[in-house]
Amino acid sequence: MKIIMLGAPGAGKGTQAQLIADKYGIPHVSTGDIFRANIKNGTELGMEAKKYMDQGLLVPDELTVRILLDRVAKEDCKDGYVLDGFPRTIPQAEVLDQALTERGDRIDFAIDVDAPDENIVKRMSGRRACLACGATFHVEHIPPKQEGICDRCGQELVLRDDDKEETVQKRLDVYHEQTQPLLAYYEKKGVLRTVDGTKTMQEVFAAVTALLG
């Protein structure tokens, strides 16, 4: 099963993608997590990506597409994956489609986690992220078992550099401009499904699993 998670920054794409990955036994592939792991490890890719991420801007397509195609070509992705944060522009979606078509393959579902901007700004300040495994928590809504420590891998949880209020607003603007057109793109392909992202994490996941079967 090949799934794309769509939705604004903070809508809950990563949270739902992780739940899907665990339930269906497919890898959770997040371009944001790949970039953050590279920043943490001080790689050249990380340094380049950070310039854009810290401003709330998108990393250029050439760089992002290469990273994503390399990742999904790995053995663990051969039976499917859940993409979180990719594609984010029409050109990225076209490159992915072309790569899949060449192998006689296609995306099964593009799930839009729909949440209005007001909900999002509130959520972001409470988010805590694990830069080691990509897990995400919220200090109030989805707290880790032990404060500041990741439930999944035991590493330290941090506030992301791009979760400052003014950067969040910029990311939302970029989303509406460059990423939202993907909803129409996938609707046209007949694979778009929408879930209400303002519900609790469990309710959203129940809606997702009802779609996926």
Q: Which residues are annotated as catalytic?
A: 13, 88, 127, 160, 171
Of 9-17, 21-29, 109-117, 168-176, which segment contacts Mg ion by CB under 5 A?
Answer: 9-17
| Residue 134 sits in the site that holds ligand AP5 (CB under 6 A) | no
Distance of alpha carbon 204 from the chain centroid = 15
Would you say 26 or 95 has its CB closer to ligand AP5? 95
Distance CA 48, CA 134 (A): 20
What does the angle CA 30 – CA 36 – CA 39 come to, to the nearest 5 degrees? 145
Give the number of residues written for the chain.
213
Tell me the one-letter amino acid at 211: L
Binding mask 13-42 for Mg ion (x = CB under 5 A): -x----------------------------
Min separation Cβ 190 and ligand AP5, Å: 23
CA distance 113 to 197: 5
Binding residues for ligand AP5, total number by CB under 6 A: 37
Q: How far is CA 190 from CA 22, 23, 27, 72, 102, in A?
A: 26, 24, 24, 23, 20
Residue closest to ligand AP5, measured at CB? 32
User: With binding defined as CB under 6 A, does residue 136 bind ligand AP5?
Assistant: yes
What secondary structure letter does DSSP report for 109? E
Contacts of 90 (CB under 8 A, 6+ apart): 181, 182, 185
Q: Does 186 bind ligand AP5 (CB under 6 A)?
A: no
3-class DSSP assignment, residue 128: strand
Cβ atoms < 10 Å from Cβ of 201:
15
Q: Is 144 in the site for ligand AP5 (CB under 6 A)?
A: no
Cα–Cα distance for residue pair 163/77, rounded to 1 Å:
30
Min dist CB 212 to ligand AP5, Å, is 17
Restricting to residues 27-86, which ones interact with ligand AP5 according to CB under 6 A? 30-32, 35, 52-53, 56-59, 64, 85-86
Shortest separation between residue 207's beta carbon and ligand AP5, angstroms: 10
Query: What gap in Å lies between CA 163 and CA 31, rounded to an integer?
Result: 17
Task: Write out the residues near Mg ion by the rule CB under 5 A.
Answer: 14
Task: Write out the residues near ligand AP5 by the rule CB under 6 A.
Answer: 7, 9-15, 30-32, 35, 52-53, 56-59, 64, 85-86, 88, 92, 123, 126-127, 136-138, 141-142, 162, 171, 199-201, 204
